[in-house]
């Protein structure tokens, strides 16, 4: 069976999590089929493959589904070895996973609240985001250098795509959520990501992302009680 028939990514091009998986797959040079999901009308296949979270990204390899971005990224790195996305050293590897998990389980859920809610709820989420970014940036600047200096790794990809999304979300919400000053590590990760050829294939044009996110928001607000 051709490789592309064996590998399917269920995603949404505007999602920073899906961008991370796509960049990882492209860096590894593997072919895959991309199935665009509609958040207001998720496909039967997506719900079947990810019944616990019902979210994208979902990667299906030889008929076997994987959900959760960090788990998918680790699977990709273990399955296609070159170039490595995670450091070899167990502690460095754990630290990369720690920060990627922080982004995906703590930071981005707050961005979802900013994106979908209004009024006091949104204001509180904006404050929470500012505090999380402040703490994260302090912690990252105090740490021993993280292994993001050797080639494009998972940490750069996850930090860079998250920054990319938070900058667009800031435009939508009319507030600066991230900047080079507020989130220097994330910012330098985006610069590194954007200087790589693969980024041009995956990162959308900024204005298109904002426009698309606004139309998705209307559909999501109509389809979920938030």
Ligand X SMILES: N[C@@H](CCC(=O)N[C@@H](CS)C(=O)NCC(=O)O)C(=O)O
Question: Using CA atoms in the order 192, 198, 199, 200, what is the torsion angle rounded to 10 degrees?
Answer: 130
Q: Which residue is nearest to ligand X (CB)?
A: 55
21 phi and psi angles, rounded to 5 deg:
-65, -40
- Asked if 17 touches ligand X (CB under 6 A), the answer is yes
> How many positions of this chain bind ligand X (CB under 6 A)?
9
Task: Give me the 89-118 binding string for ligand X, x by CB under 6 A, dash otherwise.
Answer: ---------------x--------------
Residues 31-50 touching ligand X, rule: CB under 6 A, are 39
Question: Which helix (DSSP H) or strand (DSSP E) does residue 34 occupy?
Answer: strand 33-36
- Asked if 189 touches ligand X (CB under 6 A), the answer is no
Q: How far is CA 132 from the centre of its chain?
A: 17
Q: Is the distance from CB of 28 to CB of 82 less than 8 angstroms?
A: yes
* 184 vs 210 by CB, closer to ligand X: 210
- Asked if 75 touches ligand X (CB under 6 A), the answer is no
* Nearest distance from C-beta of residue 68 to ligand X, angstroms: 5
How far apart CA 16 and CA 100 sit, in angstroms, is 12
* Nearest distance from C-beta of residue 141 to ligand X, angstroms: 25
Residues 6+ apart with CB under 8 A from 109: none
Q: Is the distance from CB of 133 to CB of 175 less than 8 angstroms?
A: no
Strand partners, 7: 61
* 3 vs 104 by CB, closer to ligand X: 104
Q: Which of 7, 8, 15, 163 binds ligand X (CB under 6 A)?
A: 15
Q: Which of 69, 137, 162, 189 binds ligand X (CB under 6 A)?
A: 69
Residues making contact with ligand X (CB under 6 A)? 15, 17, 39, 55-57, 68-69, 104
């Amino acid at each position: 069976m051709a490789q592309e028939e064996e590998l399917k990514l269920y995603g949404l091009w505007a999602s920073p999590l899906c961008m991370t998986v796509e960049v990882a797959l492209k860096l590894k040079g593997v072919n895959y089929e991309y199935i665009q999901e509609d958040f207001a009308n998720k496909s039967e296949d997506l719900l079947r493959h990810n019944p616990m979270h019902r979210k994208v990204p979902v990667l299906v390899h030889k008929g076997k589904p994987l959900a959760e971005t960090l788990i998918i990224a680790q699977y990709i790195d273990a399955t296609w070895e070159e170039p490595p996305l995670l450091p070899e050293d167990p502690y460095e590897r754990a630290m990369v996973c720690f920060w990627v998990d922080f982004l995906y389980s703590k930071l981005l859920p707050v961005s979802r609240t900013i994106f979908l809610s209004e009024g006091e709820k949104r204001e509180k989420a904006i404050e929470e985001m500012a505090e999380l970014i402040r703490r994260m940036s302090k912690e990252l600047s105090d740490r021993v250098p993280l292994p993001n200096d050797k080639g494009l790794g998972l940490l750069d990809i996850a930090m860079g795509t998250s920054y990319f999304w938070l900058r667009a979300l800031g435009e939508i919400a009319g507030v600066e959520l991230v900047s080079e000053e507020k989130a220097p590590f994330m910012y330098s990760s985006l610069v590194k990501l954007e200087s790589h050829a693969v980024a041009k294939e995956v990162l959308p044009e900024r204005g298109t992302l904002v426009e698309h996110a606004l139309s998705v928001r209307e559909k999501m607000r109509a389809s979920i009680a938030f």
